[in-house]
Structure 1
Amino acid sequence: MSITLVAVVIALVLGHVAPTLVISLRQYAWYRAWLEWLTRNTGQGAAWQGRYGIALAMVPVLLVVAILQWLLDGPVYGLVGLLFDIAVLVYAWGPRDLDVDVEAVIDAHDAPTRRAAIARLGLTGEAAALDGPALVEAVFRNALERWFGVLFWFLLLGPVGAMLYRLTVLAARDAWADLPPANREGARRFKAALEWPVAQLMTLAMALVGNFDTVFSTWREAGGARFALDAGFLGSAARASVRCELAEEAEEYAEEGMVQAMRELPELRDAMSLVWRILLLWLALLAVFVIGGWVS
Protein backbone atom coordinates (compact mmCIF):
# COMPACT_ATOMS: atom_id res chain seq x y z
CA MET A 1 0.00 0.00 0.00
CA SER A 2 1.37 3.40 -0.90
CA ILE A 3 2.42 6.03 1.58
CA THR A 4 -0.44 8.22 0.41
CA LEU A 5 -3.12 5.64 1.13
CA VAL A 6 -1.72 4.99 4.59
CA ALA A 7 -1.37 8.70 5.36
CA VAL A 8 -4.88 9.60 4.19
CA VAL A 9 -6.44 6.81 6.24
CA ILE A 10 -4.51 7.92 9.32
CA ALA A 11 -5.52 11.56 8.78
CA LEU A 12 -9.19 10.61 8.50
CA VAL A 13 -9.10 8.26 11.49
CA LEU A 14 -7.35 10.81 13.70
CA GLY A 15 -9.92 13.43 12.69
CA HIS A 16 -12.66 11.17 14.08
CA VAL A 17 -10.91 9.53 17.02
CA ALA A 18 -9.07 12.56 18.39
CA PRO A 19 -10.43 15.72 16.69
CA THR A 20 -9.39 18.01 19.55
CA LEU A 21 -5.85 16.64 19.52
CA VAL A 22 -5.29 17.03 15.78
CA ILE A 23 -6.79 20.53 15.75
CA SER A 24 -4.42 21.53 18.55
CA LEU A 25 -1.49 20.12 16.57
CA ARG A 26 -2.47 21.80 13.30
CA GLN A 27 -1.40 25.25 14.40
CA TYR A 28 0.17 27.80 12.04
CA ALA A 29 0.79 30.71 14.41
CA TRP A 30 4.48 30.43 13.54
CA TYR A 31 3.68 31.04 9.87
CA ARG A 32 1.48 34.04 10.66
CA ALA A 33 4.24 35.48 12.84
CA TRP A 34 6.76 34.95 10.02
CA LEU A 35 4.53 36.71 7.47
CA GLU A 36 3.89 39.67 9.78
CA TRP A 37 7.59 39.93 10.62
CA LEU A 38 8.38 40.24 6.92
CA THR A 39 5.70 42.92 6.55
CA ARG A 40 7.10 44.96 9.44
CA ASN A 41 10.74 44.67 8.41
CA THR A 42 10.62 45.33 4.67
CA GLY A 43 10.38 48.70 2.98
CA GLN A 44 7.80 49.92 0.52
CA GLY A 45 9.96 49.14 -2.48
CA ALA A 46 10.92 45.66 -1.35
CA ALA A 47 9.96 42.55 -3.32
CA TRP A 48 7.81 41.45 -0.36
CA GLN A 49 5.34 44.21 -1.14
CA GLY A 50 4.71 42.92 -4.67
CA ARG A 51 2.49 40.23 -6.18
CA TYR A 52 5.17 37.56 -5.95
CA GLY A 53 6.31 38.47 -2.47
CA ILE A 54 4.60 35.50 -0.85
CA ALA A 55 7.25 33.28 -2.43
CA LEU A 56 9.83 34.90 -0.13
CA ALA A 57 7.91 33.58 2.86
CA MET A 58 7.20 30.10 1.54
CA VAL A 59 10.54 29.19 -0.07
CA PRO A 60 12.56 28.91 3.18
CA VAL A 61 9.88 26.73 4.80
CA LEU A 62 9.50 24.52 1.75
CA LEU A 63 13.27 24.23 1.41
CA VAL A 64 13.51 22.84 4.94
CA VAL A 65 10.70 20.35 4.22
CA ALA A 66 12.36 19.32 0.95
CA ILE A 67 15.73 18.73 2.65
CA LEU A 68 14.11 16.62 5.37
CA GLN A 69 12.13 14.73 2.74
CA TRP A 70 15.36 13.90 0.90
CA LEU A 71 17.46 13.07 3.98
CA LEU A 72 14.85 10.85 5.63
CA ASP A 73 14.03 8.83 2.55
CA GLY A 74 16.79 6.25 3.08
CA PRO A 75 17.28 5.48 6.82
CA VAL A 76 15.77 2.28 8.26
CA TYR A 77 14.58 1.09 4.82
CA GLY A 78 12.57 4.26 4.30
CA LEU A 79 10.53 3.86 7.49
CA VAL A 80 11.64 7.24 8.85
CA GLY A 81 10.71 8.87 5.57
CA LEU A 82 7.32 7.16 5.67
CA LEU A 83 6.65 8.51 9.16
CA PHE A 84 7.74 11.99 8.06
CA ASP A 85 5.45 11.87 5.02
CA ILE A 86 2.50 10.78 7.16
CA ALA A 87 3.22 13.47 9.76
CA VAL A 88 3.34 16.24 7.16
CA LEU A 89 0.14 15.10 5.42
CA VAL A 90 -1.72 14.85 8.74
CA TYR A 91 -0.44 18.32 9.66
CA ALA A 92 -1.47 19.86 6.33
CA TRP A 93 -4.85 18.08 6.27
CA GLY A 94 -7.87 19.99 7.54
CA PRO A 95 -7.28 21.85 9.83
CA ARG A 96 -10.71 20.54 10.89
CA ASP A 97 -12.21 17.33 9.57
CA LEU A 98 -14.94 18.15 7.07
CA ASP A 99 -17.46 15.44 7.80
CA VAL A 100 -17.26 16.20 11.54
CA ASP A 101 -18.17 19.83 10.84
CA VAL A 102 -21.00 18.80 8.49
CA GLU A 103 -22.42 16.43 11.10
CA ALA A 104 -22.27 19.25 13.64
CA VAL A 105 -24.53 21.36 11.40
CA ILE A 106 -26.99 18.49 10.92
CA ASP A 107 -27.05 17.56 14.62
CA ALA A 108 -27.47 21.13 15.91
CA HIS A 109 -30.83 21.50 17.65
CA ASP A 110 -31.01 25.27 18.11
CA ALA A 111 -30.34 28.27 15.87
CA PRO A 112 -27.22 29.69 17.65
CA THR A 113 -25.50 26.29 17.69
CA ARG A 114 -26.34 25.70 14.04
CA ARG A 115 -25.08 29.16 13.00
CA ALA A 116 -21.82 28.50 14.83
CA ALA A 117 -21.49 25.13 13.09
CA ILE A 118 -22.23 26.65 9.68
CA ALA A 119 -19.63 29.34 10.34
CA ARG A 120 -17.00 26.59 10.51
CA LEU A 121 -17.82 25.90 6.86
CA GLY A 122 -17.04 29.51 6.02
CA LEU A 123 -20.61 30.84 5.85
CA THR A 124 -21.36 33.80 8.11
CA GLY A 125 -23.92 36.60 8.25
CA GLU A 126 -26.77 36.29 5.77
CA ALA A 127 -24.96 33.45 4.01
CA ALA A 128 -25.27 31.37 7.19
CA ALA A 129 -28.99 30.89 6.64
CA LEU A 130 -30.18 27.36 5.88
CA ASP A 131 -29.76 27.82 2.14
CA GLY A 132 -29.36 24.39 0.57
CA PRO A 133 -27.37 25.41 -2.55
CA ALA A 134 -25.06 27.65 -0.50
CA LEU A 135 -24.39 24.82 1.93
CA VAL A 136 -23.65 22.41 -0.93
CA GLU A 137 -21.15 24.82 -2.43
CA ALA A 138 -19.57 25.41 0.99
CA VAL A 139 -19.11 21.67 1.50
CA PHE A 140 -17.31 21.29 -1.82
CA ARG A 141 -15.22 24.41 -1.33
CA ASN A 142 -14.10 23.05 2.04
CA ALA A 143 -13.52 19.60 0.55
CA LEU A 144 -11.20 21.17 -1.99
CA GLU A 145 -9.27 23.21 0.60
CA ARG A 146 -9.19 20.65 3.42
CA TRP A 147 -8.83 17.33 1.61
CA PHE A 148 -8.39 17.20 -2.14
CA GLY A 149 -5.99 20.12 -2.66
CA VAL A 150 -3.61 18.73 -0.05
CA LEU A 151 -3.98 15.18 -1.39
CA PHE A 152 -3.38 16.13 -5.04
CA TRP A 153 -0.20 18.09 -4.39
CA PHE A 154 1.03 15.46 -1.95
CA LEU A 155 0.65 12.91 -4.72
CA LEU A 156 2.68 15.04 -7.12
CA LEU A 157 5.40 16.47 -4.87
CA GLY A 158 5.23 14.62 -1.57
CA PRO A 159 5.36 16.55 1.72
CA VAL A 160 6.61 19.66 -0.09
CA GLY A 161 3.45 19.73 -2.20
CA ALA A 162 1.15 19.32 0.82
CA MET A 163 2.85 22.17 2.68
CA LEU A 164 2.97 24.34 -0.45
CA TYR A 165 -0.79 24.12 -0.83
CA ARG A 166 -1.59 24.63 2.88
CA LEU A 167 0.69 27.67 3.25
CA THR A 168 -0.80 29.22 0.11
CA VAL A 169 -4.36 28.75 1.37
CA LEU A 170 -3.50 30.39 4.68
CA ALA A 171 -1.79 33.37 3.05
CA ALA A 172 -4.76 33.93 0.72
CA ARG A 173 -7.30 34.25 3.55
CA ASP A 174 -8.71 37.67 4.38
CA ALA A 175 -7.32 39.16 7.58
CA TRP A 176 -5.52 35.93 8.52
CA ALA A 177 -2.25 37.83 8.66
CA ASP A 178 -1.14 41.42 8.05
CA LEU A 179 -0.03 41.28 4.41
CA PRO A 180 0.44 44.01 1.78
CA PRO A 181 -2.56 44.10 -0.63
CA ALA A 182 -0.52 43.13 -3.70
CA ASN A 183 1.11 40.31 -1.77
CA ARG A 184 -2.23 38.82 -0.71
CA GLU A 185 -3.61 39.18 -4.23
CA GLY A 186 -0.61 37.26 -5.53
CA ALA A 187 -1.28 34.53 -2.96
CA ARG A 188 -4.90 34.32 -4.13
CA ARG A 189 -3.90 34.01 -7.76
CA PHE A 190 -1.37 31.31 -6.92
CA LYS A 191 -4.01 29.49 -4.84
CA ALA A 192 -6.37 29.60 -7.82
CA ALA A 193 -3.64 28.11 -10.02
CA LEU A 194 -3.03 25.29 -7.54
CA GLU A 195 -6.74 24.54 -7.20
CA TRP A 196 -7.78 24.61 -10.85
CA PRO A 197 -6.51 21.11 -11.77
CA VAL A 198 -7.81 19.70 -8.48
CA ALA A 199 -11.29 21.12 -9.12
CA GLN A 200 -11.24 19.64 -12.63
CA LEU A 201 -10.42 16.17 -11.30
CA MET A 202 -13.03 16.48 -8.54
CA THR A 203 -15.65 17.38 -11.14
CA LEU A 204 -14.65 14.44 -13.32
CA ALA A 205 -14.93 12.09 -10.34
CA MET A 206 -18.30 13.66 -9.47
CA ALA A 207 -19.54 12.87 -12.95
CA LEU A 208 -18.39 9.27 -12.62
CA VAL A 209 -20.00 8.66 -9.22
CA GLY A 210 -23.11 10.77 -9.92
CA ASN A 211 -25.18 11.80 -12.91
CA PHE A 212 -22.64 12.20 -15.72
CA ASP A 213 -24.87 14.17 -18.10
CA THR A 214 -25.96 16.67 -15.45
CA VAL A 215 -22.46 17.28 -14.17
CA PHE A 216 -20.91 17.52 -17.63
CA SER A 217 -23.47 19.98 -19.00
CA THR A 218 -23.26 22.16 -15.88
CA TRP A 219 -19.46 22.06 -15.92
CA ARG A 220 -19.42 23.26 -19.54
CA GLU A 221 -22.01 25.98 -18.95
CA ALA A 222 -20.11 27.24 -15.89
CA GLY A 223 -16.92 27.70 -17.92
CA GLY A 224 -15.07 24.59 -16.82
CA ALA A 225 -13.97 23.89 -20.40
CA ARG A 226 -12.13 27.22 -20.55
CA PHE A 227 -8.55 27.51 -19.34
CA ALA A 228 -9.29 30.16 -16.73
CA LEU A 229 -8.01 30.01 -13.16
CA ASP A 230 -11.48 29.95 -11.65
CA ALA A 231 -12.84 26.88 -9.88
CA GLY A 232 -16.40 28.21 -9.68
CA PHE A 233 -17.56 25.43 -11.98
CA LEU A 234 -17.02 22.96 -9.12
CA GLY A 235 -19.71 24.57 -6.97
CA SER A 236 -22.12 24.81 -9.90
CA ALA A 237 -21.61 21.16 -10.81
CA ALA A 238 -22.03 20.12 -7.16
CA ARG A 239 -25.31 22.00 -6.79
CA ALA A 240 -26.67 20.49 -10.00
CA SER A 241 -25.56 16.97 -9.05
CA VAL A 242 -27.11 17.14 -5.58
CA ARG A 243 -30.34 18.60 -6.96
CA CYS A 244 -30.50 15.80 -9.55
CA GLU A 245 -29.86 13.07 -6.96
CA LEU A 246 -32.55 14.41 -4.61
CA ALA A 247 -35.02 14.56 -7.51
CA GLU A 248 -34.19 10.96 -8.47
CA GLU A 249 -34.65 9.86 -4.87
CA ALA A 250 -38.07 11.53 -4.69
CA GLU A 251 -39.07 9.87 -7.97
CA GLU A 252 -38.05 6.44 -6.67
CA TYR A 253 -40.18 6.92 -3.57
CA ALA A 254 -43.13 7.96 -5.73
CA GLU A 255 -42.77 4.96 -8.04
CA GLU A 256 -42.76 2.60 -5.06
CA GLY A 257 -45.86 4.27 -3.62
CA MET A 258 -43.99 5.41 -0.56
CA VAL A 259 -43.94 8.78 1.15
CA GLN A 260 -40.45 10.17 1.12
CA ALA A 261 -38.95 10.31 4.60
CA MET A 262 -38.49 13.89 5.71
CA ARG A 263 -34.85 14.51 6.43
CA GLU A 264 -33.44 17.74 7.76
CA LEU A 265 -30.94 19.44 5.44
CA PRO A 266 -31.09 16.76 2.71
CA GLU A 267 -28.84 18.82 0.40
CA LEU A 268 -26.11 18.91 3.03
CA ARG A 269 -26.31 15.17 3.66
CA ASP A 270 -26.22 14.37 -0.05
CA ALA A 271 -23.33 16.76 -0.65
CA MET A 272 -21.23 15.09 2.04
CA SER A 273 -22.14 11.67 0.65
CA LEU A 274 -21.01 12.82 -2.79
CA VAL A 275 -17.71 14.12 -1.39
CA TRP A 276 -17.07 10.75 0.27
CA ARG A 277 -17.75 8.93 -2.99
CA ILE A 278 -15.30 11.20 -4.82
CA LEU A 279 -12.61 10.58 -2.19
CA LEU A 280 -13.16 6.83 -2.34
CA LEU A 281 -12.88 6.89 -6.13
CA TRP A 282 -9.59 8.82 -5.89
CA LEU A 283 -8.20 6.32 -3.39
CA ALA A 284 -9.45 3.36 -5.41
CA LEU A 285 -7.69 4.65 -8.52
CA LEU A 286 -4.56 5.25 -6.49
CA ALA A 287 -4.74 1.68 -5.21
CA VAL A 288 -5.00 0.43 -8.80
CA PHE A 289 -1.88 2.43 -9.71
CA VAL A 290 -0.05 0.96 -6.72
CA ILE A 291 -1.05 -2.59 -7.62
CA GLY A 292 -0.05 -1.96 -11.22
CA GLY A 293 3.35 -0.75 -10.05
CA TRP A 294 2.98 2.75 -11.53
CA VAL A 295 3.47 4.50 -8.19
CA SER A 296 5.30 3.50 -5.03
Structure 2
Amino acid sequence: MKLLALILAYLISHTIKKPDKLRDFTWYKNWARWFEKSSGIKSPELNVILTVAIPVTVIYFILSLLFGSVLGVLLVSVLILFYVIGPHSLKEDAESGEIHKRLGLRKNTKVSTLIKTMTEVSMHRWFGVFFWYVVLGVAGALIYRLSERLDFYTENDNELKSTTTRLMKVLNFPAAWMMVISLAIASDFERIFKKCKPYMSFENIKSMDDSFLYEATDFAVEICEIEPDEQKNVELVTLSVLKRMLVVWLVVVSIQVILAI
Protein backbone atom coordinates (compact mmCIF):
# COMPACT_ATOMS: atom_id res chain seq x y z
CA MET A 1 0.00 0.00 0.00
CA LYS A 2 2.74 2.46 0.96
CA LEU A 3 4.77 1.63 -2.14
CA LEU A 4 1.80 2.16 -4.44
CA ALA A 5 0.92 5.43 -2.72
CA LEU A 6 4.52 6.67 -3.02
CA ILE A 7 4.74 5.79 -6.71
CA LEU A 8 1.36 7.33 -7.55
CA ALA A 9 2.07 10.51 -5.58
CA TYR A 10 5.51 10.87 -7.17
CA LEU A 11 4.16 10.35 -10.70
CA ILE A 12 1.28 12.76 -10.18
CA SER A 13 3.53 15.44 -8.70
CA HIS A 14 5.91 15.16 -11.69
CA THR A 15 3.25 15.09 -14.42
CA ILE A 16 0.62 17.48 -13.09
CA LYS A 17 1.51 21.01 -12.09
CA LYS A 18 0.33 21.52 -8.54
CA PRO A 19 -2.30 24.29 -8.28
CA ASP A 20 -1.18 27.37 -6.40
CA LYS A 21 -3.78 26.73 -3.70
CA LEU A 22 -2.12 23.40 -2.90
CA ARG A 23 1.27 25.12 -2.63
CA ASP A 24 -0.06 27.61 -0.10
CA PHE A 25 0.38 26.87 3.61
CA THR A 26 -0.76 30.29 4.77
CA TRP A 27 -3.50 28.64 6.84
CA TYR A 28 -0.82 26.86 8.84
CA LYS A 29 1.25 30.02 9.21
CA ASN A 30 -1.80 31.81 10.62
CA TRP A 31 -2.56 28.88 12.93
CA ALA A 32 1.01 28.80 14.26
CA ARG A 33 1.01 32.53 15.00
CA TRP A 34 -2.42 32.40 16.64
CA PHE A 35 -1.49 29.40 18.78
CA GLU A 36 1.78 30.98 19.91
CA LYS A 37 -0.02 34.15 21.04
CA SER A 38 -3.12 32.51 22.50
CA SER A 39 -1.93 29.29 24.12
CA GLY A 40 -0.04 30.90 26.99
CA ILE A 41 2.43 28.01 26.93
CA LYS A 42 5.85 29.14 28.13
CA SER A 43 7.78 26.03 27.09
CA PRO A 44 9.06 26.49 23.50
CA GLU A 45 9.34 22.72 23.07
CA LEU A 46 5.73 22.06 24.09
CA ASN A 47 4.53 24.99 21.99
CA VAL A 48 6.22 23.64 18.86
CA ILE A 49 5.06 20.06 19.47
CA LEU A 50 1.42 21.12 19.88
CA THR A 51 1.59 23.52 16.93
CA VAL A 52 2.46 20.54 14.75
CA ALA A 53 0.55 17.77 16.54
CA ILE A 54 -2.89 19.40 16.76
CA PRO A 55 -3.47 19.96 13.01
CA VAL A 56 -1.91 16.57 12.19
CA THR A 57 -4.31 14.86 14.60
CA VAL A 58 -7.35 16.75 13.33
CA ILE A 59 -6.55 16.13 9.65
CA TYR A 60 -5.78 12.46 10.26
CA PHE A 61 -8.95 11.93 12.33
CA ILE A 62 -11.24 13.59 9.77
CA LEU A 63 -9.76 11.68 6.84
CA SER A 64 -9.94 8.40 8.76
CA LEU A 65 -13.66 8.94 9.31
CA LEU A 66 -14.31 9.86 5.69
CA PHE A 67 -12.21 7.13 4.09
CA GLY A 68 -12.32 3.85 5.99
CA SER A 69 -11.92 1.31 3.19
CA VAL A 70 -8.63 0.00 1.79
CA LEU A 71 -9.16 2.00 -1.39
CA GLY A 72 -10.02 5.02 0.72
CA VAL A 73 -6.81 4.70 2.71
CA LEU A 74 -4.83 4.54 -0.54
CA LEU A 75 -6.64 7.59 -1.88
CA VAL A 76 -5.99 9.54 1.31
CA SER A 77 -2.30 8.56 1.27
CA VAL A 78 -1.87 9.71 -2.33
CA LEU A 79 -3.72 12.98 -1.74
CA ILE A 80 -1.77 13.80 1.42
CA LEU A 81 1.56 12.94 -0.21
CA PHE A 82 0.69 15.04 -3.27
CA TYR A 83 -0.18 17.93 -0.95
CA VAL A 84 2.94 17.77 1.21
CA ILE A 85 5.46 17.10 -1.59
CA GLY A 86 7.08 20.40 -2.48
CA PRO A 87 5.39 22.78 -2.06
CA HIS A 88 7.33 23.87 -5.18
CA SER A 89 8.74 21.64 -7.92
CA LEU A 90 12.51 21.14 -8.00
CA LYS A 91 12.21 19.99 -11.61
CA GLU A 92 10.51 23.26 -12.57
CA ASP A 93 13.25 25.19 -10.77
CA ALA A 94 16.05 23.27 -12.51
CA GLU A 95 14.52 23.59 -15.98
CA SER A 96 13.46 27.22 -15.60
CA GLY A 97 16.86 28.68 -16.48
CA GLU A 98 16.71 30.84 -13.36
CA ILE A 99 17.29 28.32 -10.61
CA HIS A 100 19.63 30.66 -8.72
CA LYS A 101 16.84 33.21 -8.37
CA ARG A 102 14.27 30.60 -7.36
CA LEU A 103 16.51 29.15 -4.67
CA GLY A 104 17.56 32.56 -3.37
CA LEU A 105 21.14 32.35 -4.65
CA ARG A 106 23.31 34.85 -6.48
CA LYS A 107 23.95 34.24 -10.17
CA ASN A 108 27.70 33.89 -9.58
CA THR A 109 27.23 31.40 -6.73
CA LYS A 110 29.83 28.62 -6.61
CA VAL A 111 28.87 25.32 -8.21
CA SER A 112 29.31 23.51 -4.90
CA THR A 113 26.88 25.90 -3.19
CA LEU A 114 24.27 25.33 -5.89
CA ILE A 115 24.60 21.54 -5.59
CA LYS A 116 24.37 21.61 -1.80
CA THR A 117 21.36 23.93 -1.89
CA MET A 118 19.55 21.69 -4.38
CA THR A 119 20.29 18.71 -2.14
CA GLU A 120 18.89 20.53 0.89
CA VAL A 121 15.82 21.54 -1.08
CA SER A 122 15.30 17.95 -2.24
CA MET A 123 15.46 16.84 1.39
CA HIS A 124 12.70 19.28 2.31
CA ARG A 125 10.54 18.66 -0.76
CA TRP A 126 10.96 14.91 -1.37
CA PHE A 127 13.13 12.75 0.82
CA GLY A 128 12.07 13.96 4.26
CA VAL A 129 8.40 13.52 3.39
CA PHE A 130 8.92 10.05 1.88
CA PHE A 131 11.14 8.84 4.72
CA TRP A 132 8.69 9.76 7.47
CA TYR A 133 5.76 8.47 5.42
CA VAL A 134 7.44 5.05 5.25
CA VAL A 135 8.17 5.17 8.99
CA LEU A 136 4.91 6.64 10.35
CA GLY A 137 2.48 6.61 7.44
CA VAL A 138 0.33 9.61 6.51
CA ALA A 139 0.88 11.15 9.95
CA GLY A 140 4.64 11.04 9.41
CA ALA A 141 4.38 12.86 6.08
CA LEU A 142 2.20 15.54 7.66
CA ILE A 143 4.50 15.88 10.67
CA TYR A 144 7.51 16.46 8.44
CA ARG A 145 5.87 19.02 6.17
CA LEU A 146 4.24 21.01 8.97
CA SER A 147 7.49 20.96 10.97
CA GLU A 148 9.42 22.19 7.93
CA ARG A 149 6.88 24.94 7.26
CA LEU A 150 6.91 25.98 10.92
CA ASP A 151 10.69 26.32 10.83
CA PHE A 152 10.43 28.24 7.54
CA TYR A 153 7.82 30.66 8.89
CA THR A 154 9.46 31.19 12.28
CA GLU A 155 11.67 34.28 12.21
CA ASN A 156 15.24 34.12 13.49
CA ASP A 157 14.56 36.45 16.42
CA ASN A 158 11.61 34.36 17.61
CA GLU A 159 12.30 32.38 20.80
CA LEU A 160 10.81 29.31 19.10
CA LYS A 161 13.40 29.33 16.29
CA SER A 162 16.02 27.26 18.11
CA THR A 163 13.37 24.65 18.93
CA THR A 164 12.04 24.41 15.36
CA THR A 165 15.62 24.14 14.09
CA ARG A 166 16.36 21.28 16.51
CA LEU A 167 13.16 19.53 15.48
CA MET A 168 14.19 19.68 11.83
CA LYS A 169 17.63 18.31 12.68
CA VAL A 170 15.96 15.35 14.39
CA LEU A 171 13.69 14.74 11.39
CA ASN A 172 16.40 15.28 8.76
CA PHE A 173 19.30 13.33 10.25
CA PRO A 174 18.04 9.75 9.67
CA ALA A 175 16.72 10.72 6.25
CA ALA A 176 20.14 12.20 5.40
CA TRP A 177 21.86 8.87 6.05
CA MET A 178 19.34 7.08 3.87
CA MET A 179 19.99 9.65 1.16
CA VAL A 180 23.74 9.05 1.37
CA ILE A 181 23.27 5.29 1.12
CA SER A 182 21.07 5.71 -1.94
CA LEU A 183 23.61 8.18 -3.38
CA ALA A 184 26.38 5.62 -2.99
CA ILE A 185 24.28 2.98 -4.74
CA ALA A 186 23.23 5.35 -7.52
CA SER A 187 26.72 6.77 -8.04
CA ASP A 188 30.21 5.53 -7.09
CA PHE A 189 29.77 3.45 -3.92
CA GLU A 190 33.43 3.15 -2.94
CA ARG A 191 34.31 6.82 -3.34
CA ILE A 192 31.10 8.04 -1.68
CA PHE A 193 31.70 5.69 1.25
CA LYS A 194 35.23 7.03 1.71
CA LYS A 195 33.89 10.59 1.57
CA CYS A 196 31.38 9.90 4.35
CA LYS A 197 33.55 7.68 6.53
CA PRO A 198 35.01 10.56 8.61
CA TYR A 199 31.46 11.50 9.64
CA MET A 200 30.70 8.05 11.06
CA SER A 201 31.40 8.94 14.66
CA PHE A 202 29.53 9.26 17.93
CA GLU A 203 30.14 13.02 17.96
CA ASN A 204 28.48 13.39 14.58
CA ILE A 205 25.47 11.34 15.65
CA LYS A 206 25.17 13.27 18.91
CA SER A 207 25.23 16.64 17.15
CA MET A 208 23.06 15.35 14.27
CA ASP A 209 25.35 17.07 11.80
CA ASP A 210 24.10 16.24 8.32
CA SER A 211 26.78 18.17 6.43
CA PHE A 212 28.15 14.83 5.20
CA LEU A 213 25.14 14.56 2.89
CA TYR A 214 25.87 17.84 1.15
CA GLU A 215 29.59 17.16 0.89
CA ALA A 216 28.90 13.71 -0.57
CA THR A 217 26.38 15.00 -3.12
CA ASP A 218 28.71 17.78 -4.20
CA PHE A 219 31.52 15.23 -4.60
CA ALA A 220 29.27 12.85 -6.54
CA VAL A 221 28.12 15.51 -8.99
CA GLU A 222 31.38 17.39 -9.54
CA ILE A 223 33.81 14.46 -9.44
CA CYS A 224 31.81 11.35 -10.34
CA GLU A 225 29.20 12.70 -12.78
CA ILE A 226 30.49 15.72 -14.69
CA GLU A 227 33.31 15.04 -17.12
CA PRO A 228 35.85 17.85 -17.65
CA ASP A 229 35.09 18.05 -21.37
CA GLU A 230 31.32 17.98 -20.99
CA GLN A 231 29.24 21.12 -21.16
CA LYS A 232 26.29 20.22 -18.98
CA ASN A 233 24.10 22.32 -16.79
CA VAL A 234 25.08 21.54 -13.23
CA GLU A 235 21.50 21.90 -12.01
CA LEU A 236 20.25 19.28 -14.48
CA VAL A 237 23.03 16.84 -13.57
CA THR A 238 22.29 17.37 -9.88
CA LEU A 239 18.57 16.85 -10.50
CA SER A 240 19.36 13.62 -12.35
CA VAL A 241 21.46 12.34 -9.44
CA LEU A 242 18.75 13.23 -6.92
CA LYS A 243 16.12 11.44 -9.01
CA ARG A 244 18.29 8.32 -9.18
CA MET A 245 18.59 8.42 -5.40
CA LEU A 246 14.80 8.58 -5.15
CA VAL A 247 14.46 5.60 -7.48
CA VAL A 248 16.78 3.63 -5.18
CA TRP A 249 14.45 4.46 -2.29
CA LEU A 250 11.45 3.15 -4.23
CA VAL A 251 13.32 -0.04 -5.11
CA VAL A 252 14.25 -0.61 -1.45
CA VAL A 253 10.63 -0.12 -0.38
CA SER A 254 9.58 -2.54 -3.13
CA ILE A 255 11.97 -5.18 -1.80
CA GLN A 256 10.60 -4.70 1.71
CA VAL A 257 7.06 -5.18 0.42
CA ILE A 258 8.03 -8.36 -1.46
CA LEU A 259 9.79 -9.80 1.60
CA ALA A 260 6.79 -9.01 3.77
CA ILE A 261 4.39 -10.95 1.52
Normalising by structure 2, we get a TM-score of 0.88
What is the Cα deviation at residue 206 of structure 1? 0.8
Residues 119-158 of structure 1 correspond to what in structure 2 (within 5 A)?
A: 119-121=101-103, 123-124=104-105, 126=106, 128-158=107-137
Q: From the superposition, tell whether residues 139 and 179 of structure 1 become closer, same or farther in structure 2 (CA, over 3 Å).
A: closer
The Cα of 1:179 is off from its aligned counterpart by: 8.5
Distance 1:120 1:7, change over 3 A: farther
Asked whether 1:215 is paired with 2:192, we answer yes
Contact 1:196 1:229 in 2 (8 A): yes
Which of 223, 246, 251 is the matching residue for 1:279? 246
Deviation for aligned residue 1:237? 0.6
Indicate the residue corresponding to 2:88 in structure 1: 96
What SS does the corresponding residue of 2:208 show, helix, strand or coil? coil
Structure 2: gaps (5+ residues): none
Cα distance in 1 between the residues matched to 2:196 and 2:49: 32
Which amino acid in structure 1 is aligned with residue 192 of structure 2?
Answer: V
Q: CA deviation at 1:232?
A: 1.1
Matched, 1:87 2:79: yes
Partner letter of residue 67 of structure 1?
F
1:20-65 alpha-carbon deviations (Å, 9 max, x no partner): 52x431321111111111233355xx335x2442112112112123
| Partner of residue 235, structure 2 | 268
Please identify, of 283-292 and 149-158, the stretch whose mean Cα deviation from structure 2 is larger: 283-292
Aligned residue type for 2:24: Q
The CA distance in 1 between the partners of 2:24 and 2:13, in whole Å, is 15
d(CA) in 1 for partners of 2:64, 2:15: 31
Letter in 2 for 1:96: H
- Return the letter of the residue paired with 2:32: L
Q: Paired residue for 2:8? A: 10
Q: How many residues align?
A: 258
Deviations 1:87-144 (CA, angstroms, capped at 9, x unpaired): 111111111121221111xxx2xxxxx2xx32323x33x4x42421111111111111
How far did residue 167 of structure 1 move? 0.7
C-alpha spacing 1:203/1:65, structure 2 compared with 1 (3 Å): same
Percent of pairs with identical residues: 25
SS at match of 1:19: coil
SS at match of 1:235: helix
Q: CA RMSD in A?
A: 2.3
Instruction: Report the Cα distance in structure 2 between the residues aligned to 1:210 and 1:20, rounded to whole angstroms.
Output: 30
1:39–1:178 Cα contact (<8 Å) kept: no
1:47 aligns with 2:42: yes
Unaligned stretches of 5+ residues in structure 1: 109-113, 251-259
1:191 aligns with 2:189: no
The answer to whether the 8 A contact 1:52-1:186 is kept is: no
Q: Is the 8 A contact 1:207 1:216 kept in 2?
A: yes
Deviations 1:188-244 (Å, cap 9, x if unpaired)? Answer: 1011001100000100111111112221122123x2443131211110011111122
CA distance in 1, matches of 2:114, 2:200: 21
Instruction: Provide closer, same or farther for how the CA distance between residues 39 and 208 of structure 1 changes in structure 2, counting only shifts above 3 A.
Output: same
Distance 1:236 1:16, change over 3 A: same
What's the counterpart of residue 171 of structure 1? 150
1:151 to 1:246, Cα distance in 2 relative to 1, 3 A: closer
